Amino acid sequence: MTLVAGVDSSTKSTKVVIVESDDGKIVASASARHPATAPPRSEQDPMTWWRALSKAWEACGPVTRSVKAISIAAQQHGLVALDGNGEAVHPAKLWNDSESAPQAEWLTQRLGADEWAKRCGSVLGPSFTITKLAWLRETRPDAFGAIRRVLLPHEWLTWQLLGCPAQAVGDRGDASGTGWWSPSSGEVDEELLALAGGQREWLPEILGPNDVAGHAATMIRGAVVGPGTGDNMGAALALGLTPGDLAISFGTSGTVFASSSTPTSDRQGEVAGFADAAGRFLPLVCTLNATKVTEWAVGLTGGKANDLDRIGALAPPGANGVVLVPYLDGERTPLLPTATGSLSGLRTSTTIADIVRASVEGVICGLLAGVDALERCDVDTNGRILAVGGGARSTLYRQVLADLSTREIVTPDPAVDRVAVGAAAQAAAVLSGATPDSVGAAWARSERVVVVTEPRIDTSLSSEIRSRYREAAHGVLTHLAH
């Protein structure tokens, strides 16, 4: 039995899974939390990630000594800027930090949205790493002047694992979220990088999906280390996504992503044209507000997150006309960093259960608008729809998704950390010489816990609910425009 490990380092915690390489069976897992932050300023000391990883690793017990390979997946977009001694010149700015919104607007205006979409696959928002680098140059010039290395979170953790070598490494999937790496060409666009004051020598070498990053010099000395990747790319590997498949992830934020054989370039800025960790592409739409919105709504009742299904079931589909537009912390898609939420359709007969139900429907309507955006970019979404993430544990989330999409929903075991398992699949691939997507697909096929949810409401009611949401969301846009 050969064991491999995968890591998922997110905004709130770092998780480790240790699995059997032949079938992906998890034999040990553990997690350790680190301080979470929220927009507009969302920053962390990178060393908190390393300490959390070390703690979670130790918590997995003696089995860690048998691990032969490891890969790290982590939150995308974060800026880790280091000086010549490898020390952070400023706390790492995370993907959901929105302080660089002015820099995102300035950079976009320099070239135009069309040119950015063409050259880096995406129209910039404040989440993209290049905007954070521009923010650091403009607001912290002394710190910027000390930069000698720029890494993403997974690249920084991999660099630590390798013993901080002279050459850091990364992968195409995570690199495609920087704003200076082109999924189409597979190269750094140095002209884009220079707009933020960046230099090519600061960046890591981008490895291919099957390349070995090196061997661990810390924590698990001698183990083979994979190139790592971004969190969404890791999840795609674990799900065994193939072109046509669609994944909808319900976490603190929400994501909709699909496997594609060709790159995308969305001039409207809704679809991020990412690469994946398997040599294909991963067009993705991200919303800032998902399960944190429904947790907030349940909290209004005095309940806890696990009361969602019970309370939401007290209201009918459509929430008796109540509509919640869930832009509680601004929004990324559509790009509205200063927006707030909107609650409409209230009557004296409205119950708190209506509001809870409307919060779920609002989150899902926002994500289904992301599916519409993918289809507008000619992305095939006619395969499976897979629901993943913490919200997929909720019967209400799964049923509302089936009802409003009018399609069957497949939910693999929501207790499994897909990002960490995807990283483990990459580790198994670089160890064996197989491709990461073939390993991930084989593991996904062997999974036993799968829930299938069918639509229960007619299509006319589904259309009515989505139409009311679109009208309310348009009202928020109109209000902001004035």
**Known catalytic residue at 231:** yes
Q: Which domain holds residue 149?
A: 3-239
Q: To which residue do tokens 């994501």 refer? A: 255
Same domain, 223 and 323: no
Residue 380 has pLDDT above 80, yes or no: yes
Same domain, 292 and 400: yes
Same domain, 233 and 293: no
Q: Give the dihedral sign, CA 225/203/80/112.
A: negative
Specify the length of the chain in residues.
482
If we measure between CA atoms, which residue out of 198, 282, 190, 268 comes closest to residue 232?
282
Dist. CA 426–CA 6, nearest whole Å = 8
Q: To which residue do tokens 């779920």 refer? A: 360
Q: To which residue do tokens 């924590």 refer? A: 219
Compute the CA torsion angle 431, 428, 69, 29 (nearest 10 deg): -170
How many domains does the structure of the chain reveal?
2
Q: CB–CB of 340/221 below 8 Å?
A: no
6 token code pair: 């995968």
- pLDDT value for 338: 84
pLDDT tens-digit profile of 26-76?
Answer: 999 999 999 877 778 999 999 999 999 999 999 999 999 999 999 999 999
Instruction: Look at residue 427 and tell me if it is in a domain.
Output: no
CA 194 to chain centre: 26
Same domain, 299 and 213: no
Last residue of a domain, one of 239, 256, 274: 239
Last residue of a domain, one of 239, 274, 299: 239
Same domain, 309 and 227: no
Instruction: Look at residue 150 and tell me if it is in a domain.
Output: yes
Dist. CA 25–CA 421, nearest whole Å = 10
Same domain, 311 and 407: yes
- pLDDT value for 58: 97
Name the strand (E) or helix (H) holding 156.
helix 153-161
Residue 408 confidence class, pLDDT cut points 50, 70, 90: very high
CA 154 to chain centre: 13
Phi then psi for 207, rounded to 5 degrees? -90, 160
Instruction: Look at residue 247 and tell me if it is in a domain.
Output: no
Instruction: Look at residue 352 and tell me if it is in a domain.
Output: yes
Instruction: Look at residue 268 and tell me if it is in a domain.
Output: no
- Amino acid identity, residue 30? A
Same domain, 299 and 223: no
What single-letter DSSP state applies at residue 274?
E
Q: CB–CB of 423/6 below 8 Å?
A: yes
Same domain, 118 and 232: yes
Name the strand (E) or helix (H) holding 172.
helix 172-175
pLDDT tens-digit profile of 357-372?
Answer: 999 999 999 999 999 9
Instruction: Look at residue 265 and tell me if it is in a domain.
Output: no
Instruction: Look at residue 189 and tell me if it is in a domain.
Output: yes
- pLDDT value for 448: 76
Phi then psi for 170, rounded to 5 degrees? -150, -170
Nearest 5°: the CA angle 245, 249, 252 is 165
User: Catalytic residue among 8, 97, 174, 231, which?
Assistant: 231
Dist. CA 170–CA 158, nearest whole Å = 8
Orientation angle between helical segments 395-405 and 352-376, nearest 10 degrees: 50
Dist. CA 278–CA 273, nearest whole Å = 15
What CATH number does residue 25 fall under?
3.30.420.40
Its pTM stands at 0.91
As a whole number, the mean pLDDT across the chain is 95
Same domain, 292 and 234: no
Phi then psi for 15, rounded to 5 degrees? -115, 145
Residue 449 confidence class, pLDDT cut points 50, 70, 90: confident
Same domain, 201 and 321: no
Dist. CA 236–CA 275, nearest whole Å = 11
**Which residues are bridge partners to 285 per DSSP?**
256
Residue 159 has pLDDT above 80, yes or no: yes
Same domain, 47 and 153: yes
How many Cβ atoms sit within 10 Å of the Cβ of residue 425? 33
Instruction: Look at residue 252 and tell me if it is in a domain.
Output: no
Same domain, 366 and 221: no
CA 368 to chain centre: 16
Which segments of 314-446 does DSSP mark as H helices, in order? 352-376, 395-405, 418-432, 436-445
219 token code pair: 């924590």
